[in-house]
């Protein structure tokens, strides 16, 4: 940590990028001591247009008909533009199309692909859920089962900072709610 701090302070032409899910103020004291002069930049999820564009046209020569708009909309709805989840959904969709020699995705494929996303992204889901305070876990369990709940101030802040709920205190990513319903009991 001291090497990083010295590099930041004494090397004007060198920049360090530290990426993570937790804000610096929630990390151990050593982070704050050594990164006292860093700038924290919160990256939001991708917006609808960017998400749909990446899902439907990931590369220049990608066939426009392979992922119809309604399928891309369903992926966006499940992931709320979370980049890792968008990539997982889109990649698994392409894998499904290629493995089954299909030319385009249909909505009846979505459930099977969702199941594969929950398996492929289990480390992400596990890490996010596992690091949640107990009251945030309880809120996630209630919200994922479709119930409304009162969320205490600390948990609400924690959930909002990680973009797990929206300002209306609803789950932001339904796929995460599906994972909570299926696997959270293991905690």
pLDDT tier at 32 (50, 70, 90 boundaries)? low
pLDDT at position 139: 97
pLDDT tier at 15 (50, 70, 90 boundaries)? confident
| Residues linked to residue 171 through DSSP beta bridges, in sequence order | 165
pLDDT tier at 186 (50, 70, 90 boundaries)? confident
Distance of CA 32 to the CA centre of its chain: 25
Q: How far apart are CA 126 and CA 114, in angstroms?
A: 16
pLDDT at position 187: 65
Q: How far apart are CA 54 and CA 49, in angstroms?
A: 9
Q: How far apart are CA 174 and CA 179, in angstroms?
A: 9
pLDDT digits (tens, 9 = 90+) for 61-117: 999 899 999 999 999 999 999 999 999 999 999 999 999 999 999 999 999 999 999
Burial environment of residue 100 by CB neighbours within 10 A (0 to 12, 13 to 18, 19 or more): exposed
Percentage of the chain with pLDDT > 70? 97
Which residue in this structure is represented by tokens 């930049």? 41
Q: What residue spans of 35-133 are helical by DSSP H?
A: 48-56, 69-79, 83-99, 110-120, 122-130
pLDDT at position 23: 75
pLDDT at position 30: 66
Domain ranges (residues) in the chain: 2-34, 48-120, 123-186
pLDDT at position 19: 76
**In this structure, are residues 136 and 155 in contact, taking their beta carbons and an 8 Å threshold?**
yes
Selected residue with higher pLDDT from 12 and 143: 143
pLDDT tier at 131 (50, 70, 90 boundaries)? very high
pLDDT at position 34: 72
Q: How far apart are CA 108 and CA 145, in angstroms?
A: 23
Grouping H, G, I as helix, E, B as strand and the rest as coil, residue 150 is: coil
**In this structure, are residues 69 and 163 in contact, taking their beta carbons and an 8 Å threshold?**
no
Which residue in this structure is represented by tokens 């339904």? 174
């Amino acid at each position: 940590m001291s090497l990083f701090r010295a590099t930041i302070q004494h090397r004007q032409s060198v920049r360090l990028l530290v990426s993570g899910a937790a804000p610096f103020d929630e990390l151990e004291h050593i982070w704050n001591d050594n990164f006292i002069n860093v700038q924290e930049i919160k990256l939001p999820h991708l917006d609808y247009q960017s998400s749909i564009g990446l899902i439907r046209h990931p590369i220049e020569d990608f066939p426009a008909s392979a992922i119809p708009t309604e399928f891309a909309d369903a992926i966006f709805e499940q992931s709320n533009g979370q980049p890792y989840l968008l990539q997982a959904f889109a990649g698994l969709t392409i894998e499904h199309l290629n493995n089954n020699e299909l030319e385009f995705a249909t909505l009846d494929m979505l459930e099977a692909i969702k199941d594969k996303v929950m398996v492929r992204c289990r480390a992400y889901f596990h890490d996010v859920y596992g690091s949640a305070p107990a009251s945030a876990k309880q809120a996630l369990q209630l919200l994922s089962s479709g119930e409304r709940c009162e969320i205490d101030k600390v948990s609400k802040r924690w959930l909002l900072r990680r973009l797990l709920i929206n300002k209306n205190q609803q789950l932001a990513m339904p796929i995460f709610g599906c994972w909570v319903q299926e696997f959270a009991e293991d905690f």
